[in-house]
Amino acid sequence: MALERLSEARCFGGVQRRYKGASQVLSGDAVFSVFLPDFAAANPVPVVIYLSGLTCTDENAVTKSGAQRIASELGIAVVFPDTSPRGDNVADDPDGAYDLGLGAGFYLNATQAPWSDHYKMEEFIVAELPSWLGDIEGLDVARVSISGHSMGGHGAMSLALKYPGRYRSVSAFSPICAPASCPWGHKAFSAYLGEDKEEWKLHDSSELIRSGAKAIPLLVDQGASDQFLVEQLKPELLKEACDITAFPLTYREHDGYDHSYFFIATFMEDHLRFHAKHLAQSE
């Protein structure tokens, strides 16, 4: 399948590109962005996939995270997918809520109508997107790590846990750590998956770790002044699951930081260096 290059801009010794492709998984067009360092012209570079949070598109992190400078220094590419399917025929919350429907795909495969026609972000991220990336010169798609923020942090962790061996490492900023136990998760999982709470656990990182998910290096940064910390994010449940199972979690909580891209930009370098270390290792 031919990808359409929508835009390209030079920055930090590399190029920031935006692509569009016809997605069979999402039953419509899908847009994603890629930062590709100049180093990739002669040496295919490993990839970090960054999953954004509620209400975002691929462009939020591209313009706000500050990832390009350090990615160029490290010789890695960063891929920024969208957060949900898009299009005139794609179901959306009838009340226009921000936490369901467009911009709120939760990185799972919906099984309930009307969402199941398009909302298959899990399959898109783990299968179709990598096949598209294989058509972009300069990317080493055999070496991939994954990261994300908030809903995207949930996506990064849950996909890394559900698909062992697919990613070298995983990190998250302010992730929804236990969606089966918070209001955002209850709303999304009820709509997309139905009321079988055992099915919910298959998309809940804390539950997956409790159930014996294969270990993968995991870094989580959380702002102590995050307005969603107590009600929605629940990192204590993730830490408890990791403690019980001796799962390799590095958890850092930072005084004064909130849920915004100011927080993400502050610690993006740490996350990319974390991934670069694991991407450089032989399997």
Stretch 20-40: mean pLDDT: 97
Tell me the per-residue pLDDT of 175-187, one tens digit each, with 9 for 90 and over: 999 999 999 999 9
Residue 204 is a catalytic residue = no
For 271, what's the count of Cα atoms within 13 Å in the CB-facing half-sphere?
Answer: 34
Give which of 203, 224, 118, 199 is closest to 156, Cα–Cα.
203
pLDDT score recorded for residue 281: 83
Residue 231 predicted with pLDDT over 70: yes
pLDDT score recorded for residue 1: 59
Set 52, 72, 145, 150: catalytic member: 150
Set 65, 226, 271, 278: catalytic member: 226
Residue 113 predicted with pLDDT over 80: yes
Q: Are strands 14-23 and 45-51 parallel, antiparallel or unpaired?
A: unpaired
Residue 226 is a catalytic residue = yes
d(CA 108, CA 202): 10
Instruction: Tell me what the pLDDT averaged over the chain comes to.
Output: 97
Residue 84 is a catalytic residue = no
Residue 247 predicted with pLDDT over 90: yes
Set 118, 154, 203, 259: catalytic member: 259
User: How does residue 2 score in pLDDT terms, banded at 50, 70 and 90?
Assistant: confident
Q: Which two tokens stand for residue 100?
A: 């369901």
Element (H, E) at 62: helix 59-64
